[in-house]
Amino acid sequence: RVASLPRSGSARESLGGLQSSADEPTDPASLVQSEMTAFAHAHKRMLNALIQRTPHLLSQAFEPLLRLRGVVNFNNKRTHFQTRMRKLSMRPGQRPSSLRLNIRRQHVLQDSYHQLHLRTPQEMRGRMAVTFTGEEGVDAGGVTREWYSVLMRSLLDVNFSLFESSTDGTYQPSPNSAVNPDHLSFLRFAGLVVGKALCDGHLLECHFTRSLMKHLLGLPVSLDDVERFDQDLHKNLLWSLKNSIEGVLDLNFTAETDYFGSTSVVDLKPGGADIQVTDDNKADYVNLVAAHKLTHAIKDQLAAFQGGFHDMVPMEELNIFDEGELELMLCGLPEIDVEDWRRNSEYSGGYSAASQQIVWFWEAVGEMCQEDLARLLQFCTATSRVPLGGFAQLRGVSGPQKFSIAKALGDDNRLPASHTCFHSIDLPVYSSKEILRERLMFAITEGTQGFGFS
């Protein structure tokens, strides 16, 4: 994943989208808007301090700041979202409703489904109280947290075939879920439960694929998202883009699907079986394979899951987040031990632990808050999760794969680039710690990704 700086060297974003310095506005209204945007980015630390003291500003005069990427920090966005969710749960002139569940622990999925799946979104936003049959205890929050944990494990159980696991242990709906005749209803219920957890601020113990986070936000997925789901497929697709395939690979515009050992072939475009993949059309082929894997092969399952999720959390309430922030909202900020991270890192390309840029890097990382550390971890490994056992347990394509930093060519204007498949960062030889910190922060908060497709 490569991040790139605007020509001005700072984020220049207007309310309607990115404002390129190559196409500066000329009309007075656009000039004022551009100047206000530049002001917001230049003074975002002060603005966030004001918002933290007076959160309702984001519902009033500061509301346009939510549409400027990289201005309002994650904590202030989260507080604003939670306030909006509380308002949604309140009916005018009425007390919040309540949900009482009586669940048999051995049948947590079936009991929860039958008691909740026909509830209206407004009913689902009520305060929940859970009792496990035959168990003592009053639910003051702990039993509900236990219910979420046990229920999500059941929903993700391979025996139900509702979800499939990626190579990095994250989940998305399974293309083979139809083995269960009621799979779409159960997937809608799963979306409802995840949306309920988000509304109520209950953190989930599981992580979902980055492409699923993007689908929930209505964002396009990319080739990078294939890497996070199926690293072998991503490696093969990337190789075909970088090398001539003519006379080497015999491919057409089809993809294989596997349904419990039974293989079938589907066209990636009309008449795909009769269209040969060449160097001229291979980019289109890669796009279509990736789109098939992440979207089209599970379009019905995605629609069901999204339907339940958006019943609880309307899309307009989510558009202040990116996919990384949504993951943090669902799973929480990890506790990241910077010293453990540094101890389990490697260097290449001319860098060593004693190189000045490496010393500056770890000093800058050590000064980050947990939110920025989580973003850095997402940037270089594609997830905010720290493996059980710490950074020594990071795993890559072929097994254990430590975090690494490689020396990159380029001057102070170049941004760091990440290779999430290998948990690595290409770090240019910056001339000062201040420039290194600025470029690193830009990369992890506002850096862009390429190769998008719809």
- Just list the catalytic residues: 421
Task: Tell me the torsion sign for CA atoms 230, 234, 235, 240.
Answer: positive
Residue 255's SS3 state is strand
Task: Judge contact between 164 and 156, C-beta under 8 A.
Answer: no
Bridge pairing between strands 399-400 and 262-267: unpaired
Residue 401's SS3 state is coil
Written as six digits, the tokens of 277 are 């993949």
Taking the CB of residue 122, how many other CB atoms lie within 10 A of it? 14
Tell me 55's DSSP state. G
Half-sphere exposure of 232 (CA within 13 A, CB side): 4
Rg of the chain over all Cα atoms, to the nearest angstrom? 24
Identify which of 223, 193, 194 has the alpha carbon closest to the alpha carbon of residue 211: 223
Identify which of 191, 397, 186, 221 has the alpha carbon closest to the alpha carbon of residue 292: 221
Residue with token string 């000329």: 26
Residue with token string 């080739």: 223
Residue 425's SS3 state is strand
CA distances from 417 to 5, 210, 426, 444, 454 (A): 12, 18, 5, 10, 24
Rounded to the nearest angstrom, the gap between the alpha carbon of residue 24 and the centroid of all alpha carbons in its chain is 32
Q: What is the DSSP string of 292-349?
A: HHHTGGGHHHHHHHHHHHHHHS-HHHHTT--HHHHHHHHH------HHHHHHTEEEET
